[in-house]
Amino acid sequence: MSLRQILGKIGLWFAVFVVVSPAILFFLWMASLSVKFEVDNAAYPPVFIPERFAWTNYADVLASNRFLTYFVNSLIVTGTATGLAMLVGVPAGYGIARMAAHKSAIVILIARITPGLSYLIPLFLLFQWLGLLGTLVPQIIIHLVVTVPIVIWIMIGYFETTPLELEEAALIDGATRWQVFRHVALPIARPGLAVAFILAVIFSWNNFVFGIVLAGRETRTLPVAVYNMISFDQLSWGPLAAAALIVTFPVLLLTVLAQRQIVAGLTAGAVKGG
Amino acid sequence: MAELTPAAADAAPGQEWRPPSYWPFVVPALVVVLAVIVFPWAFTIWMSLNEWKVGTPTTFVGFANYLRMPNDPRFVEAVGHTLLYTGLSVLLPLILGTFAAVVFHAKFPGRGFLRGVFIMPMMATPVAIALVWTMMFHPQLGVLNYLLSLVGLPPQLWVFHPGTVIPSLVLVETWQWTPLVMLIVLGGLAAIPTEPYESAQIDGASVWQVFRYITLPLITPFLFIAGMIRMIDAVKSFDIIFAITQGGPGSASETINLYLYSVAFIYYDLGYGSAIAVIFFLLIVAMAALMLHLRQRMMWTEIGSGA
């Protein structure tokens, strides 16, 4: 190896370090905040690894029974909104791709551009009129604004690339359109299903703006619960950081485990609804 | 499935085959889209023409809500904040994201894992992120002022001073969304052929020359897409600003989206709020159109100078 190559290697690793460190340092600092007692969090100069670990921060957050309620709320809202979106969005993506109805994608595009708050005003009034406020139903329905466009958009992309020959053959052999979809198109598009599902789950889980308007005390999802911890209940940093980490941990885990699918979906342009 | 293919070859030619209707597949989604996307839009436009405060009767006022905006100093100020915030939040991630993409385009061990780590900021729950940034921005106890002191810089007030609040929020936004630009540009880099690089190497071009005259022109379309997506997201940015400053101090970081929230859900002035929502949407569309127009003109000048 020549000197020039060695220098190149060192330069590359230095660049990698510079690029990745803001993300790594931030999450390490977040973890550090969450395992420190108040004394250490208020220390100057800051303490990175404390002498005594405050695991009680986590225990406190998890033990409060409200937190469990909010966790279950988040599971229900994200689970139902994603499930419904897959149910209607996957066939729709298939139909749009096969009809080559590219103009219909404009609706998806408009949904992508529209600020989430614009949906909230009319739907808030509608839910109030229907007497649904105070239940989880409004949040499930409004999360569809996030999940349905993501699923449709990604599935259009996948079904457009799957080969038509097999489907035509099956149709000629007498299969119904539904059978073709179910037994020929869907199995081939399985990677696409995974991408759509993962992204819909993440963006629904992270959603905050719909919750602050529509959630009552009993119907908060985790992001809203954490926000309310800042403003009302909790002032010490340790438990706050612990709660923040618990909320976002499932997503971070999913990001690292499924990074190939996520990268595939995000580069397809379907980022962030609402 | 392998047996099916020859059958298709036999049957397909000659037979007049009409493609079946795929409408049944689309109808359920159409219903959902009509209910949660089209209906709210239609309702918003109608409401924007009415004086509608919660608890008072509705009256039709025509365009009065729209005419209120130019004379509403808080709205005008919010437009300014939005443009500043958006401009910075497009530019910085584009520059840093391109750099990151060039780095990740190189081959090194652990690249996949590190790429996963690198995109964590954009996937993490924004409110959780905002909470930790708020702690880091703290003027006395925050780690950022400590880091500044290490390199000999004076402590800052970050999000707690009107003059520095927008740049501080842009810092968070940049940290969060640079990975998206990186992913898009990385996709562009993967599509570049290797020949130009080989000839450049033979000609002895420097790293910077290679980037400036080969890589950059070839990834411009991807930079444009990234800029467009970034613009749309930055204009609408809500979670980070709301969770960190709520538009403050005072109204120094109040963007259109934050003001819209206050009007609609704090003052419950739904008619005016709807009008702001419509104008906000049109503003985003106009900015997107402007970017498309600039792109078109750039392309023409490129072709013109190339000929």
Q: Are B303 and B86 in contact (CB under 8 A)?
A: no
Asked if residue B299 has pLDDT above 50, the reply is yes
- Inter-chain touch A148–B33, beta carbons under 8 Å: yes
A106 interface with B at CB cutoff 8 Å: no
Among B36, B120, B229, select the one facing A271 at the smallest CB separation.
B229
- Inter-chain touch B25–A95, beta carbons under 8 Å: yes
Q: Which CATH class is domain B67-306?
A: mainly alpha
* Residues of chain A positioned with their CB less than 8 A from the CB of B128: 223, 226, 244-245, 247-248
- At A260 the pLDDT is 84
- At B303 the pLDDT is 57
Distance of CA A175 to the CA centre of its chain: 37
* pLDDT confidence band for B7 (50 / 70 / 90): very low
Q: Is the pLDDT higher at B133 or at A171?
A: B133
Which of residues 200 through 229 in chain A touch B, CB cutoff 8 A?
Answer: 202, 205-206, 208-209, 212-213, 222-224, 226-227
Mean pLDDT of B54-77: 88
- Give the count of Cβ contacts less than 8 A between chain A and B: 285
| Closest residue on chain A to B125 (Cα) | A206
Tell me the residue length of chain A: 274
- Inter-chain touch A170–B4, beta carbons under 8 Å: yes
Mean pLDDT of B103-130: 91
A13 interface with B at CB cutoff 8 Å: yes
Interface probe with A: pick from B236, B245, B265, most Cβ of A within 10 Å:
B236
**Mean pLDDT over each residue of chain B, to the nearest integer:** 86
Asked if residue B208 has pLDDT above 80, the reply is yes
User: What secondary structure, in 3-state letters, does chain B show?
Assistant: CCCHHHHHHHHCCCCCCCCCCCHHHHHHHHHHHHHHHHHHHHHHHHHCCEECECCCCCEECCCHHHHHHHHCHHHHHHHHHHHHHHHHHHHHHHHHHHHHHHHHHCCCCCHHHHHHHHCHHHHCCHHHHHHHHHHHHCCCCCHHHHHHHHCCCCCCCHHHCCCCHHHHHHHHHHHHHHHHHHHHHHHHHHCCCCHHHHHHHHCCCCHHHHHHHHHHHHHHHHHHHHHHHHHHHHHHCCHHHHHHCCCCCCCCCCCHHHHHHHHHHCCCEHHHHHHHHHHHHHHHHHHHHHHHHHHHHHHHHHHHHHC
Mean pLDDT of B282-300: 85
* pLDDT confidence band for B36 (50 / 70 / 90): confident
| Closest residue on chain A to B240 (Cα) | A208
- At A262 the pLDDT is 84
Q: Is the pLDDT higher at B190 or at B13?
A: B190
A133 interface with B at CB cutoff 8 Å: no
Among A166, A224, A271, select the one facing B180 at the smallest CB separation.
A271
- Inter-chain touch A121–B264, beta carbons under 8 Å: yes
Please give the structure tokens belonging to residue B120.
């964590």
* Residues of chain B positioned with their CB less than 8 A from the CB of A30: 132
* Residues of chain B positioned with their CB less than 8 A from the CB of A172: 7-8, 11-12, 15, 17
CA separation (Å) from B226 to B87, B175, B292, B294? 14, 15, 12, 15
* pLDDT confidence band for B22 (50 / 70 / 90): confident
Question: What are the extents of the domains in chain B?
Answer: 67-306
- At B205 the pLDDT is 84
| pLDDT values of chain A reduced to their tens digit, one per residue, 274 residues | 688 888 888 989 999 999 999 999 999 999 999 998 888 888 878 888 888 888 888 988 888 878 889 999 999 999 999 999 999 999 999 998 888 877 777 788 788 888 888 888 899 888 988 988 889 999 999 999 989 988 998 898 888 888 888 888 888 888 888 898 999 899 988 888 999 999 999 999 999 999 998 988 889 999 999 888 876 555 788 889 999 999 999 999 998 888 888 888 777 654 444 4
What pTM was computed for the model? 0.88
- Inter-chain touch A205–B129, beta carbons under 8 Å: no
Q: What's the gap in Å between the CA of B147 and the closest CA on chain A?
A: 10
Which of residues 36 through 75 in chain A touch B, CB cutoff 8 A?
Answer: 41-42, 44-46
Q: What's the gap in Å between the CA of A3 and the closest CA on chain B?
A: 17
* pLDDT confidence band for B6 (50 / 70 / 90): very low
- Inter-chain touch A141–B36, beta carbons under 8 Å: yes
A31 interface with B at CB cutoff 8 Å: no
Among A20, A89, A260, select the one facing B114 at the smallest CB separation.
A20
- Inter-chain touch B37–A114, beta carbons under 8 Å: yes
Distance, CA of B231 to CA of B118 (rounded, Å): 21
Please give the structure tokens belonging to residue B70.
């130019």
CA separation (Å) from B262 to A213, B58, B246, B259, B275? 11, 20, 10, 5, 14
| Closest residue on chain B to A152 (Cα) | B29
Mean pLDDT of B147-160: 89
* pLDDT confidence band for B263 (50 / 70 / 90): very high
Q: What's the gap in Å between the CA of A210 and the closest CA on chain B?
A: 10
Q: What's the gap in Å between the CA of B144 and the closest CA on chain A?
A: 10
- Inter-chain touch B28–A87, beta carbons under 8 Å: yes
- At B19 the pLDDT is 56
B238 interface with A at CB cutoff 8 Å: yes
- Inter-chain touch A121–B47, beta carbons under 8 Å: yes
Distance, CA of B171 to CA of B151 (rounded, Å): 18
Mean pLDDT is lowest, of A50-54, A71-75, B20-24, B277-281, for: B20-24
Q: Output the CA torsion B213→B219→B220→B224 (10° steps).
A: -160
Mean pLDDT of B141-152: 89
Mean pLDDT of B71-92: 95
Distance, CA of B210 to CA of B54 (rounded, Å): 61
Q: What angle do CA A234, A237, A238 make, to 5 degrees?
A: 105
